[in-house]
Amino acid sequence: MNGINDRAHDMGWRDKIESGHAPEDKLPLYNWDRTDRVLNITTLTTGALPEGILAHFKDSDGGSTLVFLPRSIARSVVIGIAGIGDLAKWWNDDFELLPAEMPDDVTVQRAADQMIKRFGDSAASEAAMRSNAAMDVGDMFNHLLWQRVLLAVQELERTAPKLRNAIN
């Protein structure tokens, strides 16, 4: 992020056109129908030139993609990442990544509710698959997070009360 931010500052990308107002700033909206073809990005390396950003993505299947983002799109990406990163507190003032914090129970419940809305009866198996996939690549943080989501999905889907428990 430091390199991208420095190039944005050095090249004046933020000063030229308000983000989203250049004709080349239009990117397609995400389509949920493509979810089965999505790969997790495991590594992102960037380089910047006055004309834009070169981004090298490595994915969870071991594939690699090299993309050049022209200056106006690169500017929007920089502004978006910086805004999201600041809001989510991903890094400190020197753009050093901060350790991730486990989401609170309310956030996990919301995620479980969204999983049920998105995947219906297969929400629990989807959460379990995501947990297992994280474990397979040694990502204990996301493994534990998806385990919590799985338990929350199972609790929300409960239809018969256990002894002395109310139905959700």
Q: What is the mean pLDDT of each run of 10 residues along the chain (168 residues)?
A: 62 57 51 58 76 81 81 79 79 79 90 91 93 87 93 85 56
Residues 14 and 40 in one domain: yes
Cα distances (Å, whole numbers) of residue 22 to 14, 31, 42, 75, 149: 12, 23, 31, 11, 40
Tally the C-alpha atoms within 13 A of residue 160's C-alpha that lie toward its C-beta: 1
Residues 121 and 149 in one domain: yes
Question: Does 80 fall in a domain?
Answer: yes
Question: Does 99 fall in a domain?
Answer: no
Per-residue confidence (pLDDT) for residue 27, from 0 to 100: 47
Give residue 46's domain range.
2-88
- For the chain, how many structural domains are there in total? 2
Domain stop point among 63, 88, 113: 88
Residues 120 and 65 in one domain: no
Residues 76 and 125 in one domain: no
Per-residue confidence (pLDDT) for residue 15, from 0 to 100: 58
Residues 66 and 124 in one domain: no
Residues 23 and 51 in one domain: yes
Question: Does 168 fall in a domain?
Answer: no
Per-residue confidence (pLDDT) for residue 112, from 0 to 100: 93
